[in-house]
Structure 1
Amino acid sequence: MPRHYAIVPAAGSGSRFGAEKPKQYLSLLGRPLIFHTLAALVACPDIDRVWVVLAPDDAEWGTYDWSELGPKLETVRCGGPTRADSVSNGLQAAAMVAADDDWILVHDAARPCLSGDMLAALFADLADDPVGGILAVPVADTLKRADAEQRVAATEPRDGLWQAQTPQMFRYRLLCEALEKCRAVTDEAGAVEALGRQPRLVRCDATNLKVTYPADLVLAAMILRGRK
């Protein structure tokens, strides 16, 4: 049976958040934000190993105690200037154990509200899928396209539009090939699409939010408190 591995690219600075430290280390319920992200992955019995990909000069990681997360977690200091670079370097670290048909889950470091039920739905929907896929949410809000003066230039139809989330799950060899051929993407699905493949959309919900702005950190705390 194919095994499941996870890669968490965590070499970014989180500049849009505007904090003094990378947002993955901001406090969330008394822990670094990324602790909650990693805890959800290592707690999943179907995931064999989790690699967190750090920037080579990351000075924050070593100031925390991560031992509670257990032996599944491994750190590699090979993060690159882009997400695609960091994920590709993480795939190289996984090469020692991952077979071509094993599943790789790539998950955002700043998406701390991932739940076991979300992972179970992803695994169930993609178990026999020839391509793989991603967690996603149908777009519910009306979409406006802005002009250069930040005025509404057009209203965009939202039919068929989904908001991509993570984890994004693909076979090891397919993901390696996709990122080798296409680095100019913002997520792994985009690289797979560039090969002519069509990733499956696995419906999730808005609680699997990505912390991008300060208000998102407040929402993440509310979601995690609600689950406890």
Structure 2
Amino acid sequence: MNASLHGVIPAAGTGSRMAADRPKQYLQIGGHTLLEISAQTLLRVPGMASLTIALHPQDDRARGLPLLQDPRIRFTVGGEERADSVLAALLAITGTEDDWVLVHDAARPGLPLAAAQRLIERVLAAGRGGILALPLVDTIKRADREGLIEATLERDRLWRAQTPQMFRLGELTAALQQAAASGQGVTDEASAMELAGHPVQLVPGSPANLKVTLPEDLALAAWYLGAKEGVCE
């Protein structure tokens, strides 16, 4: 691969739905924070040139974490929304517009390295960006404002988006800037790329790559990881 590969982790959020005494990226599994575990997975990807982590401006935890001392890691100040933090990280990367970027959630500690490599292989083979995702298997209901079922949706072509999401550095930067300038809120990088008119491919992810959002998710993530000492080794 001629172009370089970079990682980005937006970690400026507070994780209010966890109802914990700290942002969820600093909750621990096996003695390590979710942020450390997620970062270590990206750093193990062959050819990863750098990893930029966007932090809350008052965050004083990350820089002292043992597993975040890799010389490829740099920190930058994130923003109010995920898209703001990702954009700040992209602008901090030293690279070319044709470089590739993997954007990954700090709260997805269970990402299998094989899934990340599968995404990279598919994206490079096709020459277009893509995301890890899982097809829906449950019956999907749409509710009205009173919590009553309004409709049952066809699930045949519905997928649950995961991360990493992989795109060209220049294209993703421009797409996020365009979305911000137009006032269109985007909840992930693929949304910004779609709005900018770029095709985005879906690459099968893994159930282990769940996002820790609610308290019960932490136990499930720990189960997937084995919750043993040395989980990041």
Question: Which runs of structure 2 are paired with 1:1-16 in the superposition (5 Å)?
Answer: 1-16=2-17
Question: Which runs of structure 2 are paired with 1:137-148 in the superposition (5 Å)?
Answer: 137-148=134-145
User: CA offset at residue 70 of structure 1?
Assistant: 2.1
Question: Which runs of structure 2 are paired with 1:55-94 in the superposition (5 Å)?
Answer: 55-62=56-63, 64-66=65-67, 70-76=70-76, 78-94=77-93
Give yes or no for the alignment of 1:169 onto 2:166: yes
User: CA offset at residue 19 of structure 1?
Assistant: 1.1
User: CA offset at residue 61 of structure 1?
Assistant: 2.3
**SS of residue paired to 2:125:** coil
1: CA distance, partners of 2:7 / 2:194: 20
Partner of residue 202, structure 2: 201
User: CA offset at residue 116 of structure 1?
Assistant: 1.4
Task: Find runs of 4+ consecutive structure 1 residues off by over 4 angstroms.
Answer: none
2: CA distance, partners of 1:196 / 1:105: 20
Partner of residue 17, structure 1: 18
Matched positions, count: 224
CA RMSD of aligned residues (A): 1.6
2: CA distance, partners of 1:200 / 1:178: 16
Question: 1:140/1:226 Cα in 2 relative to 1: closer, same or farther (>3 Å)?
Answer: farther
User: CA offset at residue 194 of structure 1?
Assistant: 0.3
2: CA distance, partners of 1:190 / 1:203: 18
2: CA distance, partners of 1:222 / 1:142: 26
Partner of residue 111, structure 1: 108
Structure 2 stretches lacking a partner, 5+ long? none
Question: 1:193/1:7 Cα in 2 relative to 1: closer, same or farther (>3 Å)?
Answer: same
2: CA distance, partners of 1:187 / 1:48: 23
Q: Judge conservation of contact 2:3–2:98 (CA < 8 Å) in 1.
A: yes
2: CA distance, partners of 1:29 / 1:43: 19
Tell me the amino acid that sits aligned with residue 90 of structure 1. Answer: A
1: CA distance, partners of 2:104 / 2:63: 21
Give yes or no for the alignment of 1:185 onto 2:186: yes
User: CA offset at residue 198 of structure 1?
Assistant: 1.6
Q: 1:126 aligns with which of 123, 148, 155?
A: 123
Question: Which runs of structure 2 are paired with 1:28-39 in the superposition (5 Å)?
Answer: 28-39=29-40
Partner of residue 160, structure 1: 157
Tell me the amino acid that sits aligned with residue 179 of structure 1. Answer: L
Q: Provide the TM-score with structure 2 as the length reference.
A: 0.91
1: CA distance, partners of 2:19 / 2:151: 30
Q: Judge conservation of contact 2:111–2:206 (CA < 8 Å) in 1.
A: no
User: CA offset at residue 62 of structure 1?
Assistant: 4.5
2: CA distance, partners of 1:75 / 1:110: 17
Partner of residue 147, structure 2: 150
User: CA offset at residue 7 of structure 1?
Assistant: 0.5
2: CA distance, partners of 1:195 / 1:79: 23
Partner of residue 40, structure 1: 41
User: CA offset at residue 131 of structure 1?
Assistant: 2.7
Q: Provide the TM-score with structure 1 as the length reference.
A: 0.93
Residues 177-224 of structure 1, C-alpha deviations (whole Å, 9 max, x = no match): 100101310000000000112201011121111101111110111111
**SS of residue paired to 1:127:** helix
Residues 25-67 of structure 1, C-alpha deviations (whole Å, 9 max, x = no match): 0111111111110110112222111111101111332453335
1: CA distance, partners of 2:168 / 2:160: 22
Q: Judge conservation of contact 2:38–2:110 (CA < 8 Å) in 1.
A: yes
**SS of residue paired to 2:22:** coil
Structure 1 stretches lacking a partner, 5+ long? none
